[in-house]
Amino acid sequence: MTRRALITGITGQDGSYLAEHLLSQGYQVWGLIRGQANPRKSRVARMMSELSFVDGDLMDQASLVSAVETVQPDEVYNLGAISFVPMSWQQAELVTEINAMGVLRTLEAIRIVSGHNGSRHAGSSGQIRFYQASSSEMFGKAAETPQNENTTFHPRSPYGVAKAYGHFITRNYRESFGMYAVSGILFNHESPRRGAEFVTRKISLGAARIKLGVQEKLHLGNLDAVRDWGFAGDYVRAMHLMLQREEPGDYVVGTGAMHSVRDAVRIAFDHVGLDWQDHVVIDPELVRPAEVEILCADSSRTRAELGWEPTMDFPELMRTMAESDLEHVAREQQYADLLLAGVW
């Protein structure tokens, strides 16, 4: 039987990579779409013609019940969230509603449609399996380095606090109701599809624009922050593997290598042939009210139990993103030139 997956957050970076991965594994894949005319739907639909869509919003319980009822999924991946940390200080309540309560609503939708523990029919052993996109941001002011599945959480942003709720409610539904519900504690992962508000893409796009004469300066905040950055395409494989285990469990996913924002800048600017010190401006407005200074994953359990390994290191990731943005900016310029010339 063809397996069916429902993905919330289909229009985001991870949603598109996960859908591609699941389609390549023979799944039928549905993406949850919010809004009456979501402009990002056509972009992801163009990438994958086999993808199906169902309407719904993590703010709306009934819509999630209806989505689960329609799709009858074997696996539900909850990737939907407001994922940009600074926004969580400005709209803390909204971020809590979506990133925390949205997890509870999705778990409840599974229980409402399929019974107490997610079994699809009375007496059936086939449960709907649930994946929650937890985050290394929950470690925040990290109690130890590197961080593993047992490291205490000390979130530093409303985003991190909301993710901690999502993490614990997922574990609680597993323990309370016997649901197959797991969290992947994923460290930062990036790609050419990363939103331009996140620092790696802001840097790769900034370097490309400066190189091609579209922008002069790149404004950044804290260059000393250290992250464990990996490639998003690798991380979605781990999400899928977590739902294939006999026993449900939570796993940390990261590369184990630490780099600073300054390293990211240096690699991207080197790649486009510029000296970053001529172009980067430190903007105190971009420094966060409470910073997460250092994150680094100890993924030894994930590697041993899931057989997961990352395929791309950080320098290669930054160079790939910078190269992709050089092409992207050059295409935008060509388009603008054609518009000016009246060709389009």
Active-site position among 16, 63, 134, 135: 135
Q: Which does 263 bind (CB under 5 to 8 A by kind): ligand GDD, ligand NAP, none?
A: none
Rule CB under 6 A: choose which of 202, 211, 259, 266 binds ligand GDD: 202
Draw the binding track, 210-229, toward ligand GDD (x: CB under 6 A; -: no contact).
----------xxx--x-x--
Amino acid at 164: A
Please classify residue 245 by burial: count the beta carbons closer than 10 Å to its beta carbon, then call 0-12 exposed, 13-18 middle and 19+ buried.
middle
Q: Which of residues 301-320 bind ligand NAP (CB under 6 A)?
A: none
Q: Which residues pair with 252 in a beta bridge?
A: 185
Draw the binding track, 80-119, toward ligand GDD (x: CB under 6 A; -: no contact).
---x-x----------------------------------
Active-site position among 83, 137, 157, 190: 137
Nearest to 221 by CA among 242, 238, 197: 197
- 129 belongs to the binding site for ligand NAP (CB under 6 A): no
Rule CB under 6 A: choose which of 137, 250, 298, 325 binds ligand GDD: 137
Strands 52-55, 75-78: pairing is unpaired
Rounded Cα distance, 260 and 276, in Å: 14
Q: Which of residues 2-31 bind ligand NAP (CB under 6 A)?
A: 8-15
Q: Which stretch binds ligand GDD (CB under 6 A): 23-31, 100-108, 134-142, 206-214?
A: 134-142
- Enumerate long-range contacts of 15-20, CB under 8 Å, 24 or more apart: 15/44, 15/79, 16/44, 16/47, 16/48, 16/193, 17/191, 17/193, 17/232, 17/233, 17/235, 17/236, 18/77, 18/79, 18/236, 18/239, 18/240, 19/44, 19/48, 19/51, 20/47, 20/48
Q: Is 159 a catalytic residue?
A: yes
The H-or-E segment that residue 53 falls in is strand 52-55
- 183 belongs to the binding site for ligand GDD (CB under 6 A): no
Least gap, CB of 208 to ligand GDD (angstroms) = 16
Q: Is 335 a catalytic residue?
A: no
Rule CB under 6 A: choose which of 186, 203, 225, 242 binds ligand NAP: 186
Least gap, CB of 180 to ligand NAP (angstroms) = 19
Q: How many CB atoms lie within 10 A of CB 252?
A: 26
Q: Return all residues near 6 (Cβ < 8 A) that are at least 6 apart.
A: 30, 31, 32, 54, 67, 68, 71, 73, 75, 76, 77
98, 92 Cβ separation under 8 angstroms: no
Q: Which stretch binds ligand NAP (CB under 6 A): 80-88, 217-225, 274-282, 319-327?
A: 80-88
- What's 297's DSSP letter? B
List the Cα angle 189/194/199 in 5-degree steps. 75
Active-site position among 17, 131, 159, 235: 159
- The residue count of the chain comes to 344
Rounded Cα distance, 236 and 19, in Å: 9
Q: Is 135 a catalytic residue?
A: yes
Draw the binding track, 83-122, toward ligand NAP (x: CB under 6 A; -: no contact).
x--------------x------------------------
Q: Which does 227 bind (CB under 5 to 8 A by kind): ligand NAP, ligand GDD, none?
A: ligand GDD
Which residues are known to be catalytic? Answer: 135, 137, 159
Instruction: Tell me which residues touch ligand NAP (CB under 6 A).
Output: 8-15, 32, 34-35, 38, 40, 57-59, 79-83, 98, 133, 135, 186, 188-189, 195
List interacting residues with ligand GDD (CB under 6 A): 83, 85, 135-137, 187-188, 197-199, 202, 220-222, 225, 227, 261, 286, 288, 291-292, 295
